[in-house]
Amino acid sequence: MIFDEIFAAEQIGFPILTLLIVIPIASAILLAFIKDENFARWAALSGALVELVLALVMVCQFIPGVAHMQFAERVEWISTLGISYHLGVDGISVLFVPLTAFLTVMVILISWRAVRFLNKLYFAAVLAFEATVIGVFVSLDLFVFFIFWELMLVPSYFLLKLWGVGPERQHAGLKYVMYMLVGSAPMLIGIVLLGINHHNTAGAGAAAPFYSFDFLTLLNVPIAPPLQTLIFFLLGFGFAVKGPLFPFHTWMPAALLEGPAAMGIFLVGLKLGVYGFIRFVIPLLPVASAEWLWLMVLLGLFASLYGALIAMVQPNLRRLLTFASVSHVGLATLGLFSLNQQGMQGGIVMLINLGFVSPGLFILAASLRARSGSSDLFAFGGLARQVPLLATFFFLLGMAVIGLPGTSGFTGEFLILQGAFLLHPALASVAVLAIILSAAYLLMFYERAFFGPVTRPAVKTLPDLVPREIAVAAATCVMVLWIGFYPAPFLRITGGSVAALVERVNGSQPTAMHSSE
């Protein structure tokens, strides 16, 4: 089988993935025992930094270019149901772990003084959220994955409800949770169906129930094409809602506008839904993925155009970023469902790119909002003169949104276009339109907000970025340029697993057909 495992014990000597989940939780619990609020901040930051360092150590120890699951851990949990605590990362998931850790550090730094009440609880919620997200990225047992997936809602709900910045935050919190639950219910059914199929196929004739929710085990079990299609739509629905993939994106503007900056950063930066597609849906259901490829590709293409067009008429920066995000998720979906090496790698690079660029811009939007009380366009004008540093960072990150050469956005878009092109030239030609539109909405906003005369008195007294914000923005820009100019290391890391996945999708059709008979 192409997806082998290397256990953490052999590779690094300690269960690093478990540690990565435990550290944020432990830090969050620790915060409860700290009286002094300032000290609590520093404690939260140190916890997040330790996590980041550990995540980077993991990436450094990662063996690139192979399709193995690495740093794996497996402990039997509920053996009658075939559920085990099974963790591991491969080229597809490994980069998202340090990204999550990076975003957490970012969130803690920018909300250093911005949180006005229940400071400790806030930081605890952020760290708890981090733990669940890392759990989602590293779990290889679908059941464990689902637990983390649902646990994620708890800190998100409180972050939205308690520290939201909009007047409708209560409602936004509820809306978010309801949407997510509606999405995850079919997902659970899909997961259960996978387990039952394993029982029926692999355990046929066995007296005792023979379930399994283990990703690697399920890969080896043939699934009949009709069932694949059913599960494809069940899982796909859940991931599409989370994505957010058009037309399930309507929860996003509310959550971003009403929620705190922290939530916004996580929501625009971590595209868990798209990750779900490439992690579980495509490998487990290759036949259905190939069959419904056109649906996904066209949805992605449409989303990329639709999001960009809506973004063009947004006077509010955070709304603009929301729809830009919808547009880019569409492009990433297009790349992933090209089901070839270039497209899939492009999709992953695009997700990583979004992980840096969108939060970076969101932070700048949040800091503008914190200073001027608004992120609406009509409150600005001539910002470049007043806040040159902010304007510079904004420009650089904006270039990555457009996907200009030299930025991470270009690397992603280039590969996605190549992948789409191999699928069908017309796809690439339409996708190009989305890129032009992205240039239009971004440059138009930039010109109106940052150039021209200063008309608002509030703008005249805007302070530029403080060192804390500069550090965050600069770190983001470094990553953007690194992936833009020298993406080779990132592509090496993702390459092996993607190659195996492409091989699986292309090679699976005859065998799967055969097994269904």
Partner 1 sequence: MEIYSSKPFWAMAAAFLGAILILVARKKPNLREACSIGAGVAQLAVILSMVSAVLNGGTLHFTLSSFLPQVSIAFRVDALALLFAATASFLWIVTIFYSIGYMRLHREQNQTRFYAAVALTLTATMGIAFAANLFTLYLFYEALTFSTYPLVTHAGTDEANAAGKRYIAYHLGTSIAFLLPAIILTYTLSGTFDFRPQGVFSAGANTTVLVVLYFLFLAGAAKAALVPFHAWLPAAMVAPVPVSSLLHAVAVVNAGVFLIFRVILDVFGQDLFQQLNLGIATAVIASITIMLASFYALRLDNLKALLAYSTIGQLAYMILGASLPNQTGETGGLIHIVNHSFSKITLFFAAGSILLASHKTKISEMTGLGRFLPWTLGAFTVGSLSIIGIPPTAGFVTKYFLAIGSIQSGWLAVFFVLLISTLLSAAYYLRVVRTVFFGSPPEHDNAARGEDEGQPHAALHPMGEVSPFIVAPMLLTAGIAVVLGLFPNLVLVLVRQVFR
Determine the interface stretch with partner 1 among 53-61, 172-180, 296-304, 445-453 (rule: CB under 8 A): 445-453
Cα–Cα nearest to 177, from 200, 198, 160: 160
Q: Based on CB atoms, which residue is closest to partner 1, 144 or 417?
A: 417
Among 20-28, 171-179, 301-309, 434-442, the segment contacting partner 1 (CB under 8 A) = 434-442
> Given strand 83-89, what is the order of strands in its sheet?
5-7, 69-78, 83-89
Exposure of 93 by Cβ count < 10 A (0-12 exposed, 13-18 middle, 19+ buried)? buried
Binding of partner 1 by 452 (CB under 8 A): yes
Q: Which of 53, 451, 478, 506 binds partner 1 (CB under 8 A)?
A: 451
User: Count of residues binding partner 1 (CB under 8 A)?
Assistant: 29
For partner 1, the binding residues in 476-515 under the rule CB under 8 A are: 485-488, 491
Report cis status (omega within 30 of 0) of the bond before 467: no
**428 forms part of the interface with partner 1 (CB under 8 A):** yes
Tokens at 185, concatenated = 């219910």
Q: Which of 439, 454, 470, 471 binds partner 1 (CB under 8 A)?
A: 439
Least distance to partner 1, CB of residue 298, Å:
19
Question: How, if at all, do strands 69-78 and 83-89 pair?
Answer: antiparallel
Task: State which residue, 375 or 411, has the beta carbon closest to partner 1.
Answer: 411
Contact 87, 145 (CB under 8 A): no
Residues 380-419 that bind partner 1 (CB under 8 A): 399, 402, 404-406, 411, 414-415, 417-418
Return the DSSP state at 113. T
204 in Cβ contact with 296 (< 8 Å): no
CB 9: neighbour CB atoms within 10 A?
12
Of these, 29, 295, 432, 513, which contacts partner 1 (CB under 8 A)?
432
Q: Which residues contact 433 (CB under 8 A, 6 or more apart)?
A: 305
- Which of 217-226 are b and which e, b meaning 16 or more Cβ less than 10 Å from the residue's Cβ? bbeebbbbbe
- Given the structure tokens 């056109």, which residue do they identify? 294
- 312 in contact with partner 1 (CB under 8 A): no
CA distance linking residue 64 with residue 92, whole number of Å: 11
Position among 422, 470, 471, 475 found at the interface with partner 1 (CB under 8 A): 422
Report the first-to-last Cα separation within the chain, whole angstroms.
22
User: How far apart are CB 432 and partner 1 at their closest, in Å?
Assistant: 6
Query: Taking the complex as a whole, how short is the minimal distance between the CB of residue 145 and partner 1, in angstroms?
Result: 31
CB of 402 to partner 1, least distance (A): 8
Report, in Å, the least distance between residue 448 CB and partner 1: 11
The residue type at 243: G
Smallest distance, partner 1 to C-beta of residue 252, A: 26
Separation CA 187–CA 210 (nearest Å): 21
Q: Which is nearer to partner 1, 387 or 399 (CB)?
A: 399
Could you tell me the smallest distance in angstroms from the CB atom of residue 342 to partner 1?
9
Interaction site with partner 1 (CB under 8 A): 399, 402, 404-406, 411, 414-415, 417-418, 421-422, 425, 428-429, 432-433, 435-436, 439, 443, 447, 451-452, 485-488, 491
